[in-house]
Amino acid sequence: MEYRGNYAVRFILIGLCLAAIAVLAVMLFRTPSKRPGEGSAAAPETTAAPPATVPETAESVTTPEETTVQKPESTAPVTEPPRQYEYATDVSRYLEFIDTDDRSYLILANRSHALGSKYVPEGLTKLNGYGNVTLRHTAAMAFEAMYKEMKALGMADVVVSSSYRDYNYQNKLYNRYIKEELARHPGYTWEQAAAIVDTYSARPGTSDHQTGLTVDFYPVSSRFEKTKTFRFMTENGYKFGFILRFPEGKTDITGYMYESWHWRFVGRKAATEMYERGITLEEYLGMTE
């Protein structure tokens, strides 16, 4: 009897447990747990924004005169080319040049990448009224836009010392520098003199000026850093597609001492990237050797 009684109690307890589990299961299914931010049934936490008020504009005011004016059929805004930067002058007609994506404007000319004696750039254009500037047409147009901008900002000291230089000119220039160094250092060999000249002048066929994409501003010396033109170029040159070709601290990459006056056209996209990343044309092209 004692054992039977135990069995009965156990049976009842198990039955109660099963019933309790069943009740809990039903409760869970009927009231699914809601966590804030989870589940598609969650109510939005923010309240609906009030309807935006329509501002009163001059257009909404109807005057007797205006009722007779026929409005244009299309209200679509005029599509303008993207202008990422603010300019003081209207550069719209120059943007096709400033924004060129022609990779020929990325041409590299340095000691290890010579253009050679035969290289003459395409489309050389002489700009009148800007101090005898000869550049490839696209670079000339970008320069013209930049020059007008500087003038509009009241800068009177914008003078170009040098732009396109052909092979023969660079050849004469280089040999003149050699003679000067030989005179300065009696007893030096041609190679010793050339080693000095190489730090400030390109050998013929390797000059950045032979690309027809380069301008030297006046004065061609460290005094240029004190001019408004230099400050403008440093802050805004890239907006017109120009870069400082031989920056300070990059001599081991460019092969040239810092030249604050020497600016090179590459197009705005490349110039902006070089400006923002603080890199040279060699680094941009991945041609640092």
Should residue 250 be labelled a site residue for Zn ion when binding is judged by CB under 5 A? Answer: no
From the list 144, 149, 259, 282, the catalytic residue is: 259
Q: How far is the CB of 165 from Zn ion (least distance, A)?
A: 8
Residue 144 annotated among the catalytic residues of the structure: no
Should residue 134 be labelled a site residue for Zn ion when binding is judged by CB under 5 A? Answer: no
Q: How far is the CB of 245 from Zn ion (least distance, A)?
A: 7
The β-bridge partners of 214 are: 264
Should residue 149 be labelled a site residue for Zn ion when binding is judged by CB under 5 A? Answer: no
Per-residue binding string, Zn ion, 177-216, x by CB under 5 A, is ---------------------------------------x
87 vs 242, beta carbon nearer Zn ion: 242
Should residue 260 be labelled a site residue for Zn ion when binding is judged by CB under 5 A? Answer: no
Should residue 160 be labelled a site residue for Zn ion when binding is judged by CB under 5 A? Answer: no
Identify the CA nearest to 135 among candidates 145, 122, 146, 116.
Answer: 122
Per-residue binding string, Zn ion, 12-31, x by CB under 5 A, is --------------------
Residues that bind Zn ion (CB under 5 A): 216, 262
- Tell me which residues are annotated as active site: 259
